[in-house]
């Protein structure tokens, strides 16, 4: 005999928390300004750094609802993988994003929370890739300007 399938249904799932998601995305994006990978790349895993790991362990409830444990875990990963140390502002951004994610998790079904995490994940990735693309374009412009000055001499 098959085991019965149990579904969790909540009434408050109708309102998508857009503002909260954007706030979390911005906090994680700002936190990632302190992260410089030892081996930089353009893969999603490389671009997201420890922020991607935070979303994974939060989805799995690795530390329950303990914000300090999540922040400590991510800070440990940050220090071992980044060329740049975590600033107090970055730590506060990380803590704010973690706290907000835990609050969302408490008020949502697991399935709904996973959708929220996915939205945060790809939102932060988009912001980071936009920043990287802008930096590449600025670098190209500077090089072209420098080459144009060299040709005029």
Rounded-to-integer distance, Cα 45 and Cα 52, Å = 7
Instruction: Read off the pLDDT of residues 82-109 as tens digits, 9 standing for 90 and up.
Output: 999 999 999 999 999 999 999 999 999 9
pTM of the model: 0.84
| Average pLDDT value for residue range 54-70 | 95
Least confident piece of the model among 4-8, 74-78, 144-148: 4-8
Question: Hey, how many other C-beta atoms are within 10 angstroms of the C-beta on 21?
Answer: 18
φ, ψ of residue 82 to 5 degrees: the values are -110, 145
Instruction: Read off the pLDDT of residues 20-55 as tens digits, 9 standing for 90 and up.
Output: 999 999 999 999 999 998 888 889 999 999 999 999
Instruction: Read off the pLDDT of residues 105-121 as tens digits, 9 standing for 90 and up.
Output: 999 999 999 999 999 99
Q: What percent of the chain has pLDDT over 90?
A: 79
3-state secondary structure the chain: CCCCCCCCCCHHHHCCCHHHHHHHHHHHHHHHHHCCECCCCCCHHHHHHHHHHHHHHHHCCCCCCCHHHHHHHHHHHHHHHECCCCCHHHHHHHHHHHHHHHHHHHCCCHHHHHHHHHHHHHHHHHHHHHHHHHHHHHHHHHHHHHHHHHHHC
What would the two tokens of residue 89 be?
Answer: 């502002």
């Amino acid at each position: 005999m098959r085991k019965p399938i149990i579904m969790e249904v909540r009434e408050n799932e109708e309102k998508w928390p857009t503002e909260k998601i954007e706030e979390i995305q911005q906090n994680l994006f700002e936190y990632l300004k302190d992260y410089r990978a030892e081996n930089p790349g353009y893969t999603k895993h490389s671009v997201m750094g420890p922020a991607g790991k935070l979303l994974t362990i939060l989805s799995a409830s690795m530390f329950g609802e303990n914000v300090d444990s999540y922040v400590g875990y991510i800070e440990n990963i940050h220090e071992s993988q980044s060329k740049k140390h975590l600033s107090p502002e970055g730590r506060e951004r990380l803590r704010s994003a973690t706290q907000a994610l835990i609050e969302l998790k408490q008020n949502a079904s697991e399935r709904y929370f996973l959708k929220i995490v996915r939205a945060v994940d790809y939102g932060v990735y988009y912001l980071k890739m936009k920043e990287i693309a802008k930096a590449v374009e600025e670098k190209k412009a500077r090089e072209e300007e420098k080459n144009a000055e060299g040709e005029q001499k």
